[in-house]
Amino acid sequence: MPATQLLLLACLVWGLGARTAQLRKANDRSGRCQYTFSVASPNESSCPEQGQAMSAIQDLQRDSSAQRADLESTKARLRSLESLVHQLTLDEAAGPSATQEGLQRELGALRREREQLESQNRELEASYSNLLRDKSALEEEKRRLREENEDLARRLDSSSQEVARLRRGQCPQARGTPQDVPSGSREGCGELVWVGEPLTLRRAETITGKYGVWMRDPKPAYPYTQETTWRIDTVGTDIRQVFEYDLSSQFLQGYPSKVHVLPRPLESTGAVVYRGSLYFQGAESRTVIRYELNTETVKAEKEIPGAGYHGQFPYSWGGYTDIDLAVDETGLWVIYSTQEAKGAIVLSKLNPESLELERTWETNIRKQSVANAFIICGRLYTISSYSAPDATINFVYDTGTGRSRALTVPFKNRYKYSSMVDYNPLEKKLFAWDNFNMVTYDLRLSEM
């Protein structure tokens, strides 16, 4: 090393804190001039061992590697910043139109979304307004129906009082004529000559009540009375509910005191109540079932031999009215048809306990040509139409003589869809279900 460089190095070391330095000049063994520069360590009192020196070197290497990694990370961040600056420069070169177009698209989408929300809000407000109007209309209809029910209840009470008064004022029976007609007897029964205008008692609330049957027991058994009413809505495929009303006022107002759930579904509108039991046709079968209402148990079942069912021989209005049960002064009946009768009406008298057929009559009246039928004093009467406003009682069949003949007794279908017409021998009225409406008809029989 030249002497000048050694002098510079000595100055540098002195500046870094080494205060003791020696420079010697001498020839080596070969006679060559040699400079020797010695510097005392400012920190170490003695020289470290070789292992310690290596450790210090490794520490310096690790520090150097860490500094190198930091440097590379700094370079990477610098390159990323340069890339961003470059992209911004390109965007500025393209001008503000591209950015503005993107913002315009976003703004347009937000405006469309706002318009859709406002439109939905307007629709909801309109729907809410319509619902409020419907609610007001329904409340008005409910009020009107309540007033009608109250009026009907008053009229019914008045009619009951009038009937009681007329019974008290009846002429005395002829000597030897019994006061009460014995069971199974036709004494005192004339032929139907007049049917009055229908009196509407109430209207069904839902679509299931378009067709139905309502009944009172002409021979009520405890705990029921002649005022107890039963009702069945028959639209549907699994008809099991029977609504029971203890009082006429409950029936008129639509508040049942009990709901029976039958153990098997019934079919159509041919059910009746007699001596404390409900008699009905089991769905999709020719079986008649006796269901005791008080104990809620099935007491008897009986297949009607050969009877058509589920649309084979219905009345003209349809409704699976193949088997129709009826009650009159003489007892329990079933109206139906068979293949052997070729669709003509067949009548059978039933034992009300066992449902055994006691006697059967075959008529010459085709079942599908008439709209409905009922029995008074052992005579079968048929109705010409279920929908014509001015229909007629058009045939009568007398089981006493086995003969039938035509009639023309006027009969009104006020609501133009009579799906059930039954006779109640206790009240001497026809009960009917006409297009959601439960109605009664007064009637008159001829003198014997």
| DSSP state string for 378-447 | TEEEEES-SS-SEEEEEEEEETTTTEEEEEEEEEE-TTS-EEEEEEETTTTEEEEEETTEEEEEEEEE--
For position 226, what pLDDT does the model report? 94
Query: Is the CB of residue 313 less than 8 Å from the CB of residue 292?
Result: no
Q: What does the pLDDT look like over 50-68, one tens digit per residue?
A: 566 566 667 667 767 777 7
Q: What does the pLDDT look like over 366-408, one tens digit per residue?
A: 999 999 999 999 999 999 999 999 999 999 999 999 999 999 9
* 13 class by beta-carbon count within 10 Å (0-12 exposed, 13-18 middle, 19+ buried): middle
For position 204, what pLDDT does the model report? 92
Rounded to whole angstroms, how far apart are CA atoms 21 and 14? 8
For position 84, what pLDDT does the model report? 76
Residue type at position 344: A
Torsion of CA 270, 276, 282, 288, to 10 degrees: -80
Rounded to whole angstroms, how far apart are CA atoms 376 and 379? 5
For position 183, what pLDDT does the model report? 44
For position 413, what pLDDT does the model report? 95
Name the 3-class secondary structure at 256.
coil
For position 77, what pLDDT does the model report? 77
Task: Specify the DSSP class assigned to residue 114.
Answer: H
For position 238, what pLDDT does the model report? 92
> Which stretches of the chain score pLDDT less than 70?
1-21, 37, 39-57, 59-60, 63, 91-99, 102, 134, 141, 151, 153-188, 448
Biggest CA-to-CA distance, the chain: 184
Q: pTM for the whole thing?
A: 0.60
For position 124, what pLDDT does the model report? 77
Beta-strand runs (E) in 5-82: 21-27, 33-39
